[in-house]
Structure 1
Amino acid sequence: MIALLLILIPLLGGVVSFFLKEEKAAKSFSLLASLAALAVMIFGFMNRTEAAMQFQAAWLPQLGSSFALKMDGMSMMLCFLTALAYPVIFISTFRNKYKDPNSFYGFMLLTQAGITGVFLAADGLLFYFFWELALIPVYFLCSKWGGERRIAVTFKFFIYTFVGSLLMLVGLLYLYYQTPDLSFSLQSLYDVKLTVKQQGLLFWLFFAAFAIKMPVFPFHTWQPDAYEESPTAVTMVLSALMVKMGLFAVVRWLIPLFPAAALQFDNVVIGLSVIGMVYASILAMQQDDLKRLTAYSSIAHIGLMSAALFVNNESGLQGAMIQFFSHGVNVLGMWIVIDMIEQQFGTRKMSELGGIAQKAPALTILLVIVALANVALPLTNAFVGEFLMFNGLFKFNVWYAAVGGLSIILSAVYTLRMIQKVFYGNGNTRTANAQDLNLFTRIALSVIVAAIFIMGVYPKPVFALVSDTVTTVLGIYK
């Protein structure tokens, strides 16, 4: 029942939000709905029983599809990330003004329901349904509340993701017709016997959809523009949560369904991922806009996770799954700071900022912590996952690890440059009256920083959560 509630609470909360005409009521109700989902998630984490973690009901029996939900360790971790991220997003942006706030918060909660459903679906058709449910509200959020170029950018984002989804649907239907009982159940699809050639074709149909969502080079071109033009609250969802849908789907669907193809094309995927890591890091160094810098930085981090999922060793897989959570936490912290800077100074350009540390020391300290976690400083959460991923990549191929390692150096360069240009140096007329953290932002960033240090010092609970998934994936290759 826990699995079902994690979807129903934001789904029903989103529907109710559309009918709340007052801005304060819409904001407060959405925050309460997200906190309710977090409370259910915490309860489920502390009371893990098979009955609570699973749910099944008749849905489309004539098509061999049921409303089947299943929460294992990996999906529990990602559901917890989603449940934690939404209250943090709502609290950190509580003072932001939106036209038709009831619709804005309604779409935000519907997106949460879709993302959570993707992590829980144990039926192929249900997975596709939630995959699309997460996409459609984001389209409206970006096209209505985005920046000046929102229409063109949103159209590009929609076309990319919609085409990828259609390719996946074609592959899913082909698999469906190969099942003896014409079933979309996860286990039935796992049991389908395919030739190596069939696996190879289907692998790319599914991988295209997942690679676009992550995104991985060269499927990434929609991402920087979408992140830049979207409202920051939506950008937080896109970068902290929606990219994990693609990474999660590789582990839950792609590798188990097509293990022979995963081994056949591992060098191709890892090669593209490593190229993307270095390419995105170089582009990040050239950016003046904080949103675009963070967008390219995210592509580099996602590239490393994508590569680690295909190295076929415990270190790489374990590191990637831990980094699912760590990256979500860290990039969320970056967006919170960027949003506060944009709201206060009316710009995101580093060249127009400077000297903020003199007026806002608390903001500076918390940003430095988040930024250094983003470059995987020891004792921070990202260090654990990144060390394991590079270790796994090194075991797979030393040259991939060497080339990919350049992104570590480049990441330190653009991150330290960003800190120096925005927070230190001489102030200007824009930053002369800078104000420190307000209560809402202080709460949100404190949660982020606490998660950074707790996971950096004591990552054992996360290791325990994903251990069964790692063992299962490695067993598939044997």
Structure 2
Amino acid sequence: MITLFLILWPVVVSLTIFIFRPKISKQIALLASLVEFILSLVVIFQFDGSGAAAFSMNIPWIASLGINFHIAIDGISLLLVLLTTGLMPFIILSSFNGPRQNSPNFYALILMMQMALIGVFTALDGFLFYVFWEMALIPIYFICLIWGGENKSRITLKFFIYTLAGSLLMLVALLILYYKTPGQHSFDIQALYAAGRSLGAAEQGLVFWGLFLAFAIKMPIFPFHTWQPDTYTVAPVEGTMLLSGIMLKMGFYGVIRWLIPMVPLGVTDWGFVAVLLSVVGIVYASALAIYQQDFKRLIAYASIAHVGLMSAGLLTLNKIGMQGALIQMISHGILAFALFYICEIISVRTNTRVIASLGGLRTNAPILTTVLMIAILGTVALPLTSGFVGEFLLLNSLFQYNFIIGATGGLTIILGAVYCLRAFQYMMLGKNTTTTTSISDLTGNEKIVLYPIVILIFVIGIHPDPLLKISEAAVGDLLELYVNFSAKTK
């Protein structure tokens, strides 16, 4: 029942804000998100740490088609539910002094987005998963279209078409499996697992690409990333936070929950190609990030590079890599939020995001400089920060998989240091420019948003064990399914 409440609560509040349009809509949205976060903490305290799904609800929805409203939470989904509910209050609070602070529609769409994200991470019915997947696209589309920047219509349409095309491929793949389920066809996840494993290698390969392309576009990885830099740059900062901090994790979750256990032969045959594309994306995006002059666009390319590492490590089908990908999703969400928010603060104060036009910010904004430095150190995986834990596990997994791929993937740390420290040097050090002479430091509201993020960066980096233990059993069970099937087919 608590899983259902996690899904329904944001919907109820969202509709209330949309219909009644209260003047305190931002406060209501913040309170609703805090309630949602507290509920997720209740789930953590009641979670037994086993690999089995808990907090389950499974009721007929469209019984004649074998479609159920089946939702549950295990260790893998719990981490992503926690990321969603944990970041959402900060995203809402970060908008309190911005141009969208008095827009009920804006906050209603954010809460509707939260509902869809929770649904994606808890759905155990293929059709229900697809419905929530599509529902997540609608709010973010309107957030970007209505409150985006220059050329928002063209860029948002490109993002919509990319994502919709991937979703249709996923639907086709799920329908193939649905019609392969025995007896009365079913979209239940276990029935789809069985149907996928019953296919031959060639058929599993087709299903693999149908699902993987949908997930690859959402992450995104090379060469399916071209919608991302423009969308992240043009979207309002809250939309960029939603996209980068949470929404792209839908793609990783899809690979873990649906792709790997469903078509193991397809993963075996085509996994190396997917790993190779991911690693190419690391180098490609990092190289482009070095040459970016717009700070927000630099962060967007940095996100692609880190996504490539997570994707590559995940597809090594190694427990270390999968655990590393999961904890890196949490870290990436936190760090991306911090970087995009700081970028917005600088942009609002100086009316520019051009790195070369900034300089000497440290003089008048020492606290802002310190917080940015911590976020950058986490991004370049400095030990004792959250970024180090995931990247260490991911690179460990990649080196076990293939030394050359591991060495290439390791460039993310070296190149990341280049573009991050270069940007920090130009913006924060040196002499003041005409745009930074009178910049002010962090306000009280901004400190309330950023200080907890800084604490999380260090807490996760110093003591990641609680997060790793949450997902450990579920990851082990999932990989056991893959290994057992592979052993039978040899």
- Give the structure 1 partner of residue 486 of structure 2: none
Counterparts of residues 58-97 of structure 1 (less than 5 Å): 58-97=60-99
Q: Which amino acid is 1:76 matched to?
A: L
**Paired residues for 1:236-255 under 5 Å:** 236-255=241-260
Partner of 2:320: 315
- Show the counterpart of 2:420: 415
Aligned counterpart, 1:346: 351
Aligned-pair CA distance for 1:22: 4.8
Residue 258 of structure 1 is matched in structure 2 by: 263
Q: Cα offset for 1:314? A: 2.0
Cα deviation, residue 12, structure 1: 1.4
Take 1:167 and 1:341, find their aligned partners in 2: how far apart are those partners?
40
TM-superposed CA distance for 1:468, in Å, is 1.5
Q: Does 1:183 align with 2:186?
A: yes
User: In structure 2, what is the equivalent of residue 163 of structure 1?
Assistant: 165
Q: Distance in 2 between matches of 1:76 and 1:382?
A: 20
CA distance in 1, matches of 2:406, 2:79: 27
- Give the match for residue 477 of structure 2: 472
**Paired residue for 1:282?**
287
Partner residue of 1:8?
8
- Secondary structure of 2:68's partner? strand
Cα displacement (A) at 1:405: 1.5
TM-score (norm 2): 0.95
SS in 2 for 1:191: helix
- 8 Å CA contact 1:114, 1:133 repeated in 2: yes
TM-score (norm: length of structure 1): 0.98
Is 1:139 the counterpart of 2:138? The answer is: no
Report the Cα offset of residue 48 of structure 1.
2.5
Structure 1 counterpart of 2:362: 357
Which residue pairs with 1:431 in the alignment?
436
Q: Following TM superposition, by how much is the alpha carbon of 1:382 offset from its aligned partner in structure 2, in angstroms?
A: 1.1
* Aligned 8 A contact 1:99 1:145 in 2: no
Letter in 2 for 1:443: I
Classify the secondary structure of the residue corresponding to 1:67.
Answer: strand
Instruction: Report the counterpart of residue 19 of structure 1 in structure 2.
Output: 19
Equivalent position of 2:385 in the other structure: 380
Deviations for 1:119-168, whole angstroms, at most 9, x for unmatched residues?
A: 00010000000000100111111111101210000010000000100011
Please report the RMSD computed on the Cα atoms of aligned residues, expressed in angstroms: 1.3
1:327 pairs, out of 322, 329, 332, with 332
Name the CA shift for 1:52/1:207 in 2 (closer, same or farther; >3 Å). Answer: closer
Give the partner amino acid of 2:35: A
C-alpha separation in 1, matches of 2:212 and 2:377: 32
Q: Deviation digits for residues 220-277 of structure 1, max 9, x if unmatched?
A: 0000000011000010000010110000100000001111111111210111000000
Retained in 1: the 8 A contact 2:95–2:101?
Answer: no
- Partner SS state of residue 59, structure 2: strand
| Equivalent position to 1:305, from 307, 310, 323 | 310
Partners of 2:232 and 2:297 within 8 A in 1: yes
Q: Residues of 1 paired with 2:441 and 2:430: CA distance?
A: 17
Q: Deviations over 1:167-216 (max 9, x none)?
A: 11011111111111301111111111111111000100011100000001
SS for the counterpart of 1:81 is helix
Secondary structure, counterpart of 2:19 in structure 1: coil
**1:230 and 2:229 aligned:** no
Q: Is the 8 A contact 2:261 2:481 kept in 1?
A: yes
- Say which is worse superposed, 297-306 or 191-200, in terms of deviation: 191-200
Structure 2 residue runs without a partner (length 5+): 484-490
Query: Which amino acid is the alignment partner of residue 336 of structure 1?
Result: Y
Measured after TM superposition, the shift of residue 357 of structure 1 is 0.8
Percent identity over the alignment is: 46
Superposed CA deviations along residues 402-433 of structure 1, whole A, max 9, x for unmatched, are 11222211100110011111111111222111
Deviates most, 343-352 or 285-294:
343-352
Following superposition, the deviation at residue 364 of structure 1 comes to 0.8
The answer to whether the 8 Å contact 1:19/1:102 transfers is no
Does the residue aligned with 2:114 lie in a helix, a strand or coil? Answer: helix
Q: Deviations over 1:19-66 (max 9, x none)?
A: 34355x111111111111001111111123689621222211121111
Q: Are the equivalent residues in 1 in contact too, given 2:60–2:68 (CA < 8 A)?
A: yes
Structure 2 counterpart of 1:273, one-letter code: S
Q: Residue 150 in 1 paired to residue 152 in 2?
A: yes
CA shift for structure 1 position 472:
2.0
Output the CA distance in 1 between the equivalents of 2:320 and 2:403. Answer: 14
1: CA distance, partners of 2:112 / 2:307: 25
1:461 and 2:466 correspond: yes
* Other structure's SS at 1:55 match: strand
AA partner of residue 214 (structure 1)? M
Distance across 2 between alignment mates of 1:234 and 1:194:
40
Q: Give the 3-state SS of the residue equivalent to 1:56 in structure 2.
A: strand
CA contact (8 A) 2:76 2:475 kept: no
Aligned 8 A contact 1:20 1:26 in 2: no
SS of equivalent residue, structure 2 residue 248: helix
Residues of 2 paired with 1:302 and 1:249: CA distance?
14
More displaced stretch, 403-412 vs 147-156: 403-412
Aligned in 2, Cα 1:163/1:51: closer, same or farther, shift over 3 Å?
Answer: closer
Shift of 1:71: 0.4
Letter in 2 for 1:307: A
Equivalent residues of 1:70, 1:122 under 8 A apart = yes
Partner of 1:271: 276
Q: Give per-residue Cα distances to partners, 1:312-333, cap 9 Å, x unaligned.
A: 2222111111111111111111
